[in-house]
Amino acid sequence: MASIRVLLDGQATTGAFIASPNFPQYSFAWLRDGAYCALAMDAVGETTSSEAFHRWAADAVERQRDRILDVVNRLRAGEDPEPRLMLPTRYTLSGMPESDGADSWPNFQLDGYGTWLFALHTHLAGADAGAFRAAAELAAEYLAASWAMPCYDYWEEFGDRRHTSTVASIAAGLQAAAHMLDRPDLADTADAVLAFIRESCVSGGRFVKGPSDSRLDASLVSLATPFRLVDHDDPVMVATIEGIRTTLASPSGGIRRYLGDTYYGGNPWLLLTAWLGWHDRLAGNADGHAHAVDWVRGRQAADGGLAEQTLHEPQDASAVQPWIDRWGPVADPLLWSHAKYLLMQSDVEDAAWS
């Protein structure tokens, strides 16, 4: 399958998945993107690839040991560390932190570390952390200490806020670490994070972008798929999914990030449409799943490539060209899009969570 080849071709010899090989701004490795790539490779039986990614990620985290311990100690002492002291969201393919560039691109997010722990536990299929123990402990301690901090969201925006999808990834990562490390205290912290989501991140009967933002965000699908923090038939989750389907869908049925998005015009994203299709398959919505498969396939390049987003259904048409002038055409292929396309059609085993 073309998507498997794209992921394999986009995986460095170190094990890192480059976000996009043809888009200079995405020439780094995000833990979040890579974790989903690893989940997809596990789903299709390419476990050597996923193992290589997890070893790369574990090495990258262990290199940050002193930084992690410093941050954890500061937080436990009641200090409020500056964002520059926190772990980066992007790494070079060799596993070194990528510093903020000249374009002042934010580099403090927490979601990737939680998503990595979740994907690692899934990869290990219920076994304990084994050779990954040291890195998993570091990542878990970092998240347990910092989960309540404002940080940039999935989309590198709104760094002064807390975000539902981010704290959901942290809860999922802490649950995974509790299993892998036999640490009930981490499960207790995950429960506290989930309580925060239920108490502060629901408005109008739906999960919302964050405590201070009542908009929907397509990344909220993650609460159920794949994190399983809530059931697919949970009434709040059902309302959230239907809200995403009705308010974030473009006229053709592709899914946008959120209302008001202006990045390259705020078009529908292939990975988000596939993500909703993945959820629909697991929730038993055959029609929704079939629509997502057809929509994504209809936007697949002749060589099998899947881009980040289309450019034909913008929310703000005036914002398209300025981004092209600034950064060039949209990322194509985007490895995360290929990962979600694979996951939409085949799922990892549930052994880790049984």
- Grouping H, G, I as helix, E, B as strand and the rest as coil, residue 6 is helix
- 80 is known as an active-site residue: no
Residues 11-27 as b or e (16 or more Cβ within 10 Å = b): bbebbbbbbbbbbeebe
Evaluate whether 79 touches 41 at the Cβ level (below 8 Å). Answer: no
Tell me how far apart the alpha carbons of residues 57 and 40 are, in angstroms, rounded to a whole number: 16
Tell me how far apart the alpha carbons of residues 220 and 146 are, in angstroms, rounded to a whole number: 21
Tell me how far apart the alpha carbons of residues 41 and 152 are, in angstroms, rounded to a whole number: 27
- 153 is known as an active-site residue: yes
Pairing relationship of beta strands 202-203 and 90-91 according to DSSP bridges: unpaired
Closest listed residue to residue 341, CA positions, set 286, 283, 285, 298 = 298
Residues 225-238 as b or e (16 or more Cβ within 10 Å = b): bbbbbbebeeebbb
Closest listed residue to residue 242, CA positions, set 204, 210, 270, 211 = 204
The H or E element that residue 168 is part of is helix 164-181
- DSSP structure class, residue 84: G
Select which of 59, 98, 156, 234 is catalytic.
Answer: 156
Select which of 42, 153, 217, 280 is catalytic.
Answer: 153
Closest listed residue to residue 248, CA positions, set 223, 221, 212 = 221
Active site residues: 153, 156, 308
